[in-house]
Amino acid sequence: MANRTAAAFGLLCVIAGAYAPTLAFAQAEEFVPETVTTKERMDPGQNVFVNMQNWGGGPSVAYIYDAKDLTLKGSVSGGSQSHFTISADGNTAYMASGYYPRYDSGAGEHVLQIFDVPTNALTKEIVLPYKLAQYTDDIAFLRLSSDEKLIYIQNATPATSVTVVDLTSGTVVQEVPTPGCFGIYPTLEDHGFSTICNDGAFTTFTLSEDGTSAESQKSAKIFDPDADPIYLSSDRAEGNLLFISYHANVYRLDDSKGVIEKLSVTPIAEGVEGNWGTSGYSVVTYNEPNGILFVPMHSEHHDGSHYHGSEEVWAYDLKNKTLLYRSPLADLTAIHVTDEEVPQLFGLSLKNTKIYKFDVDPTAKFAAKQVAEHSDFGFATTLMASP
Amino acid sequence: MAKLIDSFLGWMDTAAENRARRIANVSGRRSFLQKAGWALVGGAVLPMLPYDNSNGQAFARGLGEPDELPEDCEYWRYCSLHGSLCSQCGGSVTQCPPGSTPSKVAWVGTCRNPNDDKDYLVSYNDCCGKGGGCGDGCSRQEGDRPGYRYGLASESSWCLANEDKGIHCTVAIVVGLAE
């Protein structure tokens, strides 16, 4: 038995010895060393952008997620305390931010950077006046003109003004003083913007075609900043501007005549038990095809609770002034709904540092149900989606 | 009154840096104040409160305060605070930590003192020029308004007018009685 085992082992060794060089050679032939490359373009498809502000002097990042499932597809980065926006087609991104070489001390620079979204590539930089608003981000701080030839940038030193940049020439063409007013709400036609003022009025600035000059007109008082303060957050509804107050009153404004006019005020929480108020930062988002406003809300609201996370997101039919549905979506501090017949709703939670996607069912009173989430973006209060 | 605010801000923005440094260094952090969005005045023109600088702390007399001030967000003078407590970062309720500089501008809250049931104006100054988080973060933000009432806007960096932009922590200075 021992002899037979030894003989079998010997035969195996002979066979292995005979084939081993061949096998090794075959492996060596097939091995091709890897080389490092860069993926040239993000995967195609609809994108969701989240502007993560760095408040420690370091880089801010706008993360780009796949709208389908929130897979992280790419990002663009800039300096500290960034403000961010995208072109209407979603292919160009703009970030205004601060670069502080010593992070915490010494001189710095404020810069507008322009990126090609599909490649995430930086395409242009424009140095700005050293006055950029160092403020929790809102989309009202960096806005394109309707023809995307100019971009308007919020300044605060804390004296407030707006820097106007000609994107064709890549130059700063004007600084518009906006004393006592804050936020930028571009007109839908020509060049110009409105801004919210400390007495509850709005001032509308009409700019020349080249953006180098401006004329202003102040509105009547639109809201009471003491009794019913509005957020900076806004959206468009059938061409009108929508704002909402801490106390969940929706202000519908017309900015088409060179001066802001109030069209209506709709108290969406009136008659609802529980003393409900608005929750968060990006709090006004409107689905145009269905005429539905989505608002993050919390109960027992009180002085100082306006930036708290949501308990629910309300779907409100603004045309029929009807509260349709209250989805139990907790801890959201920013939301954005797409302008599609079947809307997609996206939300941010500062508490959980997550982005969420919710499917919205138009056949069920626009109830929202979570279908995806992604973590790791950090401090963010604004988000937007490409078409 | 809005024009007064604007003109004051403009003046402050263009001409007051050296003066602000002096005020900050000499008078504590009573730099610039706003009451409820309609009065923004400098520490130099507000009634000065007598300050007790003993034990490394400076706090206003006549507030009925205990010897040892609370170090939590529910402390009455933190009613509009949005930041981290300098008292836990090597400073005190009214003192920036060593190596940092009080912000030259500040937002203001109106807080009810439970010791005497009076409302006081509290100036919230960021301490600037240092990085790194420290201390409990508080976000009561009572009376907060967006930047269209900038003197009440707790979401702004208040190191924005300092050369050194780093935000370290926030102090709360009682600067006057609210009317």
Does the pLDDT of residue A144 top 50, yes or no?
yes
- Name the average pLDDT for chain A: 94
* Inter-chain touch A157–B164, beta carbons under 8 Å: no
CA distance A328 to A336: 16
* Inter-chain touch A105–B129, beta carbons under 8 Å: yes
Whether B124 contacts B80, CB under 8 Å: yes
Tell me, yes or no, if A313 comes closer than 8 A to chain B by beta carbon.
Answer: no
Domain ranges of chain B: 2-177
Interface residues of chain B, partner chain A, Cβ below 8 Å:
2-3, 5-6, 9-10, 12-13, 36-37, 79-80, 105, 129-132, 139-151, 153, 155-157, 159-161, 163-167
Of B33 and A25, the structure prediction assigns the larger pLDDT to A25
Tell me, yes or no, if A107 comes closer than 8 A to chain B by beta carbon.
Answer: yes
Q: What is the mean pLDDT of residues B28-34?
A: 25
What pLDDT is stored for residue B56 in this prediction? Answer: 37
Contacts of A129 in chain B (CB under 8 A): none
* Inter-chain touch A105–B144, beta carbons under 8 Å: no
Looking at the complex, report in whole angstroms how far the Cα of residue B168 sits from the nearest Cα belonging to chain A. Answer: 9
Q: What is the mean pLDDT of residues A293-305?
A: 98
**pLDDT grade for A29, boundaries at 50, 70 and 90:** confident
CATH topology of domain B2-177: Electron Transport Ethylamine Dehydrogenase (2.60.30)
Is A331 within a domain?
yes
What pLDDT is stored for residue B54 in this prediction? Answer: 39
**pLDDT grade for B48, boundaries at 50, 70 and 90:** very low
**Percent of residues, chain B, with pLDDT higher than 90:** 57
Looking at A237-241, B47-51, B166-170, which range is the least confident one? B47-51
Q: Which of B116, B126, B136, B158 is catalytic?
A: B126
Looking at the complex, report in whole angstroms how far the Cα of residue A273 sits from the nearest Cα belonging to chain B. Answer: 23
Residue B119 a catalytic site member:
no
Does the pLDDT of residue A16 top 70, yes or no?
no
- B143 vs A80, A134, A303: nearest CB: A303
Contacts of A81 in chain B (CB under 8 A): 157
Contacts of B151 in chain A (CB under 8 A): 158
Does the pLDDT of residue A376 top 90, yes or no?
no
Angle between helices B17-27 and B2-15 (to 10 degrees): 90
Looking at the complex, report in whole angstroms how far the Cα of residue B54 sits from the nearest Cα belonging to chain A. Answer: 30
Domain tally, chain A: 1
Is A283 within a domain?
yes
What pLDDT is stored for residue B61 in this prediction? Answer: 66
CA distance A335 to A350: 12
DSSP type of residue A238 = T
Please give the structure tokens belonging to residue A116.
Answer: 């090609």
N residues, chain A: 387
Is A3 within a domain?
no
The torsion angles phi and psi of A256, rounded to 5 degrees, stand at -85, -5
Does the pLDDT of residue B46 top 90, yes or no?
no
**pLDDT grade for A375, boundaries at 50, 70 and 90:** confident
**pLDDT grade for B8, boundaries at 50, 70 and 90:** very low
- A57 vs B9, B131, B143: nearest CB: B131
Whether A235 contacts A139, CB under 8 Å: no
- B160 vs A156, A232, A304: nearest CB: A156
Nearest-CA neighbor of A261 among A230, A227, A218? Answer: A218
Tens digit of each residue's pLDDT (9 = 90 or more) over A163-172: 999 999 999 9
For the stretch B41-52, what's the b/e string if a residue is b when 16 or more beta carbons lie within 10 angstroms of its beta carbon?
bbbeebeebebe
Looking at A8-22, A66-80, A243-257, B21-35, which range is the least confident one? B21-35
- B6 vs A105, A157, A179: nearest CB: A179
The residue assigned the tokens 């949501």 is A310
Does the pLDDT of residue A12 top 60, yes or no?
no
Nearest-CA neighbor of A350 among A78, A59, A53? Answer: A53
Tens digit of each residue's pLDDT (9 = 90 or more) over A84-111: 999 999 999 999 999 999 999 999 999 9
Return the SS3 of A312.
Answer: strand
Does the pLDDT of residue B65 top 90, yes or no?
no
Nearest-CA neighbor of A307 among B147, B82, B170, B72? Answer: B82
**pLDDT grade for B4, boundaries at 50, 70 and 90:** very low
Tens digit of each residue's pLDDT (9 = 90 or more) over A37-77: 999 999 999 999 999 999 999 999 999 999 999 999 999 99
What pLDDT is stored for residue B10 in this prediction? Answer: 39
Q: What is the mean pLDDT of residues A202-209?
A: 98
Pairs of residues, one from chain A and one from chain B, whose beta carbons lie less than 8 Å apart: 122
Which are the contacts of A4, defined by CB distance < 8 A and separation ≥ 6?
none
Tell me, yes or no, if A182 comes closer than 8 A to chain B by beta carbon.
Answer: yes
Residue B158 a catalytic site member:
no
Looking at A2-6, A298-302, B54-58, B161-165, which range is the least confident one? B54-58
Does the pLDDT of residue A2 top 50, yes or no?
no
Of A9 and A129, the structure prediction assigns the larger pLDDT to A129
Looking at the complex, report in whole angstroms how far the Cα of residue B160 sits from the nearest Cα belonging to chain A. Answer: 6
Nearest-CA neighbor of B36 among A226, A306, A200, A135? Answer: A226
Contacts of A55 in chain B (CB under 8 A): 157, 167
What pLDDT is stored for residue B34 in this prediction? Answer: 27
The sign of the dihedral angle between the CA atoms of A230, A234, A235, A239 is positive
- A159 vs B9, B149, B155: nearest CB: B9
Burial class (CB in 10 A: 0-12, 13-18, 19+), B3: exposed
What pLDDT is stored for residue A301 in this prediction? Answer: 98
The CATH number covering residue A382 comes to 2.130.10.10
Contacts of B143 in chain A (CB under 8 A): 303-304
The residue assigned the tokens 């919205």 is A360
Interface test with A, best of B165, B167, B170 (most A CBs within 10 A): B165
Q: Omega of the bond prior to B70 within 30 degrees of 0, cis?
A: no
What pLDDT is stored for residue B14 in this prediction? Answer: 34
Looking at the complex, report in whole angstroms how far the Cα of residue A53 sits from the nearest Cα belonging to chain B. Answer: 13
Full-model pTM: 0.86
The distance of Cα A283 from the centroid of its chain, to the nearest Å, equals: 12
What pLDDT is stored for residue B53 in this prediction? Answer: 37
ipTM of the complex as predicted: 0.91
Q: Residue A378's domain spans which residues?
A: 228-387
**pLDDT grade for B49, boundaries at 50, 70 and 90:** very low
Tens digit of each residue's pLDDT (9 = 90 or more) over A337-350: 999 999 999 999 99
Looking at the complex, report in whole angstroms how far the Cα of residue B49 sits from the nearest Cα belonging to chain A. Answer: 26
* Inter-chain touch B142–A179, beta carbons under 8 Å: no
CA distance A324 to A280: 21
Burial class (CB in 10 A: 0-12, 13-18, 19+), A27: exposed
What pLDDT is stored for residue A377 in this prediction? Answer: 72
Tens digit of each residue's pLDDT (9 = 90 or more) over B90-108: 999 999 999 999 999 999 9
**pLDDT grade for A235, boundaries at 50, 70 and 90:** very high
| A 63-102 near B (Cβ less than 8 A) | 80-81, 98, 100
- B150 vs A56, A158, A231: nearest CB: A158
Q: What is the mean pLDDT of residues A173-202?
A: 98
What pLDDT is stored for residue A100 in this prediction? Answer: 96
Does the pLDDT of residue B31 top 90, yes or no?
no
- B130 vs A104, A107, A133: nearest CB: A104
Is A303 within a domain?
yes
Does the pLDDT of residue B164 top 90, yes or no?
yes
Looking at the complex, report in whole angstroms how far the Cα of residue A202 sits from the nearest Cα belonging to chain B. Answer: 10
What pLDDT is stored for residue A26 in this prediction? Answer: 52
What pLDDT is stored for residue B59 in this prediction? Answer: 55
Is A168 within a domain?
no
**pLDDT grade for B60, boundaries at 50, 70 and 90:** low
The residue assigned the tokens 């292995």 is A16
* Inter-chain touch B156–A98, beta carbons under 8 Å: no
| A 122-141 near B (Cβ less than 8 A) | 133-136
